[in-house]
Amino acid sequence: MHVDPFRKEIIFKIVYYGPGLGGKTTNLEFIYSQINPKLRGELVTLKTKEDRTLYFDFLQLELGRVNGKKPRFHLYTIPGQVYYGYSRKIILKGADAVVFVADSQSVRMDENWKTLADLEEKLILQNKSLTSFPWVLQYNKRDLPNIETVRALQTKLNFFNVPFHEAMANKGQGVFETLRTAIQLALAKV
């Protein structure tokens, strides 16, 4: 978090983490498409030629004045592919909260676990842990066939009983609810 009382700004860093092709960028694209252009910056995407996130996506949101202060939110996604581990470490640095975008499809459970373990490893490097760090789970792709039930997902992924939301990021369902929860968790930690 970054506080600037001269400009009366408070900036929060929210990082979208999760396996590749899980819908992290789709979350940001939906937010970008729905927010008043006066209250957001341009969506920065650093992609490969194959349209996969290479380094990160970045979107800045603001809410106007709240009690005379100007809250801003810096939203980042991480590249999901395993070989971009260093990029993830860098982007996670200084995060105030994490949105873990899990893929609800049964065949993707292994990837969800691996990425969650990777997140914990990266947090430990910063002397943090999933047990106490503010994070929220988003069970994405609820509209696809062959998905796990929410109960099964809760058992398999939500070991620490953190808040969760079901989502269909491509249709916008659950996107803002998840972001709101992440912001509230970040604020509660200050």
Partner 1 sequence: MTNSFNNNNNGNRWVFSEASFEKINGTVNDLCSRLKAHVVVFADMNGYPISFCGDTRRIDINNLTAVGAGTFSATAEMAHLIHEKQQFKYIYHEGESQNIYLCNVGEDYLMIVVFNKNTAVGMVRALTAHAVKKLTGFFSELQGEKEKATEFLDDEFRSLLGKELDKSFRL
Residues that bind partner 1 (CB under 8 A): 1-6, 10-11, 13, 34-36, 39, 41-42, 44, 46, 55-56, 58, 60, 63-64, 66-67, 69, 71-72, 74, 76, 86-87, 90-91, 93-94, 176-177, 179-180, 183-184, 187, 189-190
Minimum distance from residue 43 beta carbon to partner 1 (Å): 9
Q: Give 114 or 180: the residue with its C-beta nearer to partner 1.
A: 180
Nearest CA among 133, 50, 47, 54 for reference residue 86? 54
Minimum distance from residue 91 beta carbon to partner 1 (Å): 7
Minimum distance from residue 78 beta carbon to partner 1 (Å): 11
Alpha-carbon span 2 to 53, nearest angstrom:
26
Q: Give 6 or 83: the residue with its C-beta nearer to partner 1.
A: 6
State how far Cα 136 lies from the chain centre.
Answer: 8
Minimum distance from residue 177 beta carbon to partner 1 (Å): 6
Alpha-carbon span 151 to 84, nearest angstrom:
31
Q: Give 1 or 130: the residue with its C-beta nearer to partner 1.
A: 1
Alpha-carbon span 177 to 149, nearest angstrom:
20
Alpha-carbon span 70 to 63, nearest angstrom:
7
Q: Give 85 or 105: the residue with its C-beta nearer to partner 1.
A: 85
Written as one string, the DSSP assignment of 30-45 is: HHHHHS-GGGB-PPEE
CA distances from 66 to 9, 13, 35, 101, 129 (A): 10, 18, 17, 29, 31
Minimum distance from residue 148 beta carbon to partner 1 (Å): 26
Minimum distance from residue 24 beta carbon to partner 1 (Å): 16
Q: Give 87 or 105: the residue with its C-beta nearer to partner 1.
A: 87
DSSP conformation class of 62: E
Q: How many CB atoms lie within 10 A of CB 154?
A: 15
Q: Give 66 or 144: the residue with its C-beta nearer to partner 1.
A: 66
